[in-house]
């Protein structure tokens, strides 16, 4: 179905705007006269059917795409709004004959790049630079001279100097490039600032229509739809950012690693979904934060996420072709998109459409291949930390980065869960997840599946860390240091992977305290078996009387 929102579409220069480039602040929409431009936007049920995406994510993408089209039509841009039922290339192929050459900024997602490749090859689509990024490939390569191992810190310092952000007279503001040590406080209710609830956004006919579409066509997708918390217009994105500047940034750094059952947000800005759609532009975000009069540790901690980690992941994704090209050999690739275990859990299966892309890199340095437990889909596990975070994910399509790393990825890693299946789960469950961002985060940081390509060690922990950085243990049937399975799982993990990890310098101290203990391995076997079977854990089934 094709709908033209302006009828004077002749003599326009056309641009395909993918679902995640929804900004008039970058590319031709920022520099060319709107009356000379036309955009093609594609709403694509075929894409939505590839994986069991969270309802809120589908609503976010559809709502923003529709509003963006209206906003551009309002400016005088001709808009061709297509509802496709197949790969993007099938919707775009042939358009060049009627519209003339169509440009597109280089898609961030490999999945879309692969889809469009035949049109790039035939010249029907012309790729131009994606102006949303803050760094170039040349800068990334220059930050790693002579083929040095990819390291965030190396890249980040290079970019601080190259951009001048948080730099004073050639030196880092505050005297250091890194204030991580000041950013590790736990949160204590009654002692610390009160976290504010995230903003809600006004209803409008476009959003309501998108909501009805989700409930009608995508009712079988998991997750809760909440239109009140859904930003869909440019004004909503601005409102969200102003809320974040006032309510989150001053305390972001100090509590960025804290976890708290009373607020899934704490002082995280929750802008990642809007940033990854380009409703908010990274350059503006960095500029605004650098100008704030707040503690340097907070500013630096936040800017490191955007100018550092986010850009770094994009480059690693590009350089490795989504971890297909690994240093020693090409990785195996799944034949079709995975469902993150949804089909097994629901019993209903997940039948993706035909003509789909492959399912991504199967890299797994630790050889982990266990199925993801149904607890990740909402079945109670009995582990309060896990159950609290998972309930929030299916409620909101989001949780902050420490819960992602130190609860969800940590447990999956300790259980030797397939990194691909966990990645696919994050991809469908999180409203900000796209291949370029979710694969480096989960295959790399979360599970060590990419080995030391760009992370130095697996980020695993026992109960001590969770107990110190959260209040989850207070409401749990397990007791950290006594009955909680996380600590024996941690020791069992180190022991199981000793041949590969013992020589790792950053694990030296841990291995000094590690010993082979059959009891830890027994806990690992039992916990994994029970969780994969969908059983709830109790102290007595984790530690049965001998």
Q: Residues interacting with ligand SF4, by CB under 6 A?
A: 383-385, 463, 466-467, 472-473, 476, 478, 480, 484, 486
Residue 389 beta carbon to ligand SF4: minimum distance, rounded to whole angstroms: 10
**Are 225 and 218 within 8 A, CB to CB?**
no
- The CA distance from 417 to 446, in Å, is 11
Nearer to ligand SF4, 200 or 464 (CB): 464
Do the Cβ atoms of 360 and 333 come closer than 8 Å?
yes
Q: Shortest distance, CB of residue 28 to ligand SF4, whole angstroms?
A: 50
- E-assigned strands of 69-227? 78-83, 102-105, 125-128, 167-168, 171-172
Closest CB 125 distance from ligand SF4, rounded Å: 49
Block residue for tokens 């559809």: 62
For ligand SF4, give the closer residue by CB, 112 or 375: 375
Nearer to ligand SF4 by Cβ, of 133 and 478: the residue is: 478
Residue 260 or 486: the one with the smaller Cβ distance to ligand SF4 is 486
CA atoms within 13 A on the CB side of 159: 29
Of 361, 331, 323, 327, nearest in space to 149 by CA = 327
| Cβ–Cβ < 8 Å for 357, 46 | no
Smallest gap, in angstroms, from Cβ of residue 410 to ligand SF4? 10
The closest of 285, 404, 357 to 110, measured between CA atoms, is 357
Shortest Å distance, C-beta 279 to ligand SF4: 35
CB of 480 to ligand SF4, least distance (A): 5
* Nearer of residues 331 and 386 to ligand SF4, judged by Cβ: 386
User: Can you say how many angstroms the Cα of residue 275 is from the centroid of all Cα atoms in its chain?
Assistant: 11
- Those residues whose C-beta lies under 8 Å from the C-beta of residue 542, and which sit 6 or more positions away, are 478, 483, 485, 523, 526, 527, 530
Q: Which is nearer to ligand SF4, 309 or 472 (CB)?
A: 472
CB of 99 to ligand SF4, least distance (A): 56
Nearest-Å Rg of the Cα atoms of the chain is 23
Bridge-based pairing state of the strands 13-16 and 2-4: unpaired
Choice between 273 and 411, CB closer to ligand SF4: 411
Phi, psi of 296 (to 5 degrees): -60, -35
CA angle 97, 101, 103 (to 5 degrees): 135
Give dist(CA 431, CA 412) in Å, integer: 20
Least Å distance between CB 262 and ligand SF4?
15
Burial of residue 509, with CB atoms counted within 10 A of its CB: 0-12 exposed, 13-18 middle, 19 or more buried: exposed
Name the residue nearer to ligand SF4 (CB basis): 105 or 476.
Answer: 476
Q: Which is nearer to ligand SF4, 410 or 455 (CB)?
A: 410
Least Cβ distance, residue 474 to ligand SF4 (angstroms): 8
User: Strand, coil or helix: what is 450?
Assistant: coil
Q: How far is the CB of 387 from ligand SF4 (least distance, A)?
A: 9
8 A C-beta contact, residue 441 and residue 413: no
Cβ closer to ligand SF4: 116 or 463? Answer: 463
In this structure, how many other beta carbons lie within 10 angstroms of the beta carbon of residue 515? Answer: 10
Closer CB to ligand SF4, 99 or 476, in the complex? 476
- Report the nearest approach of ligand SF4 to the CB of residue 543 (Å): 13
Cβ-based neighbours of 419, under 8 Å, separated by 6 or more: 363, 364, 368, 442, 443, 446, 447, 449
CB closer to ligand SF4 out of 260 and 436: 260
State the Cα torsion 84-88-91-95 to the nearest 10°: 150
Residue 289 token pair: 């934060």
Q: Which is nearer to ligand SF4, 400 or 467 (CB)?
A: 467
How far apart are CB 258 and ligand SF4 at their closest, in Å? 14
The three-state secondary structure class of 43 is strand
CB nearer ligand SF4, residue 202 or residue 481: 481
Q: What is the DSSP string of 363-404?
A: --TT---BPPPGGGGT---S-HHHHHHHHHHHHHS---HHHI
Q: How far is CA 48 from CA 118, 338, 438, in A?
A: 22, 13, 17
């Amino acid at each position: 179905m094709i709908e033209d929102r302006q009828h004077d579409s002749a003599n326009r220069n056309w641009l395909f705007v993918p679902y995640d480039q929804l900004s008039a602040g970058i590319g031709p929409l920022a520099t060319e006269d709107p009356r000379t431009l036309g955009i093609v936007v594609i709403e694509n049920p075929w894409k939505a059917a590839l994986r069991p995406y969270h309802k809120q994510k589908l609503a976010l993408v559809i709502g923003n795409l529709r509003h963006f089209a209206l906003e551009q039509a309002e400016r005088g841009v001709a808009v061709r709004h297509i509802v496709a039922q197949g790969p993007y290339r099938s919707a775009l192929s042939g358009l060049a004959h009627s519209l003339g050459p169509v440009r597109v900024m280089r898609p961030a997602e490999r999945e879309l790049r692969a889809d469009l490749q035949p049109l790039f090859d035939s010249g029907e689509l012309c790729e131009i630079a994606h102006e949303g990024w803050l760094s170039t490939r040349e800068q990334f390569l220059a930050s790693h001279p002579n083929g040095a191992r990819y390291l965030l810190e190396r890249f980040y310092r290079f970019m601080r100097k190259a951009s001048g952000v948080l730099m004073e007279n050639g030196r880092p503001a505050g005297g250091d490039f890194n204030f991580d040590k000041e950013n590790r406080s736990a949160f204590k209710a009654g002692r610390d600032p009160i976290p504010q609830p995230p903003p809600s956004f006004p209803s409008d006919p476009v959003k309501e229509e998108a909501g009805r579409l989700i409930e009608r066509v995508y009712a079988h997708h998991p997750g809760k739809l909440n239109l009140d918390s859904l930003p869909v217009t440019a004004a909503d994105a601005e409102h969200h950012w102003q809320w974040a500047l006032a309510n989150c940034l001053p305390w972001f750094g100090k509590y960025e690693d804290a976890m708290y059952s009373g607020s899934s947000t704490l002082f995280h800005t929750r802008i990642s979904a809007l940033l990854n759609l380009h409703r908010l532009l990274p350059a503006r975000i960095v500029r605004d934060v650098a100008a704030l009069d707040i503690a340097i540790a907070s500013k630096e901690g936040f800017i490191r996420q955007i100018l550092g980690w986010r850009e770094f992941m994009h480059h690693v994704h590009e350089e490795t072709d989504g971890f297909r090209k690994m240093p020693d050999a090409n990785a195996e690739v799944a034949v079709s998109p995975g469902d993150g275990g949804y089909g097994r859990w629901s019993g209903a299966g997940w039948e993706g459409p035909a003509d789909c892309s492959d399912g991504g890199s199967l890299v797994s340095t630790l050889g982990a291949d266990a199925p993801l437990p149904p607890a990740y889909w909402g079945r109670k596990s009995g582990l309060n930390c896990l159950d609290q975070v998972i309930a929030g994910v299916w409620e909101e399509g989001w949780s902050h980065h420490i819960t992602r790393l130190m609860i969800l990825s940590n447990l999956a890693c300790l259980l030797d869960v397939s990194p691909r299946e966990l990645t696919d789960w994050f991809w469908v469950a999180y409203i900000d997840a796209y291949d370029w961002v979710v694969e480096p985060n989960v295959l790399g940081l979360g599970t060590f599946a990419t080995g030391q390509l760009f992370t130095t060690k697996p980020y695993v922990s026992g109960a001590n860390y969770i107990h110190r950085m959260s209040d989850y243990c207070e409401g749990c049937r397990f007791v950290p240091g006594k009955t909680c399975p996380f600590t024996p799982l941690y020791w069992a993990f180190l022991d199981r992977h000793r041949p590969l990890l013992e020589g790792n310098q950053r694990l030296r101290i841990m291995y000094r305290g590690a010993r082979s203990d059959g009891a830890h391995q027994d806990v690992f076997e039992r916990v994994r078996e029970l969780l994969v079977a969908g059983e709830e854990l109790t102290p007595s089934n984790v530690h049965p009387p001998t």
